[in-house]
Amino acid sequence: MMMKRLIVAAAMAALLVPPAHAGDAGDPDESCDGSTAEMVDCLAVKTQRWDKRMTIAYQQAMKDAPAPQRDQLRAAQRLWIQYRDANCLYYSMGEGTIARVDTGECLRRTTEARARELEAIVHP
């Protein structure tokens, strides 16, 4: 179990390091093209942006919710993080360098979905 957490932490840390060249990560509608390293860097930048939006929405939802809902939202968010880590770990265990891209896309896609869900709670 500890080894699995270390692998997830290492994969996420590698993906969330600020890149030297982010490619076209500035436009959220553009795909991340280029070399594997450029794609991974681009996806990391996009994931960071979605993570920031998710955090802002989560904090606002926690602030707005009554105590019982806050407790449930906190529990749900913690479980969501576990789900994201376990789900994206699957992709990181793939073969070859494409596994890094697949893992980055998993983190980006999953974080975007959660950010949008929390934003819908805050701004119905």
pLDDT tens-digit series, residues 12-24: 544 444 443 334 4
Domain count, the chain: 1
**Position 88 in a domain:** yes
In a domain, 71, yes or no: no
Residue at 108 is within a domain: yes
pLDDT (average), residues 46-66: 97
Domain assignment present for residue 105? The answer is yes
111 is in which domain, residue-wise? 77-124
Asked whether residue 120 is assigned to any structural domain, the reply reads yes
| Higher pLDDT pick, 82 / 10 | 82
Following DSSP, what letter does each residue of the chain receive, concatenated? -HHHHHHHHHHHHHHHSPPS--TTTTSTTS---SSHHHHHHHHHHHHHHHHHHHHHHHHHHHHHS-HHHHHHHHHHHHHHHHHHHHHHHHHHTSSSTHHHHHHHHHHHHHHHHHHHHHHHHH--
Q: What is the pLDDT of residues 82-120, one digit of tens each?
A: 999 999 999 999 999 999 999 999 999 999 999 999 999
In a domain, 87, yes or no: yes
pTM (2 d.p.): 0.76
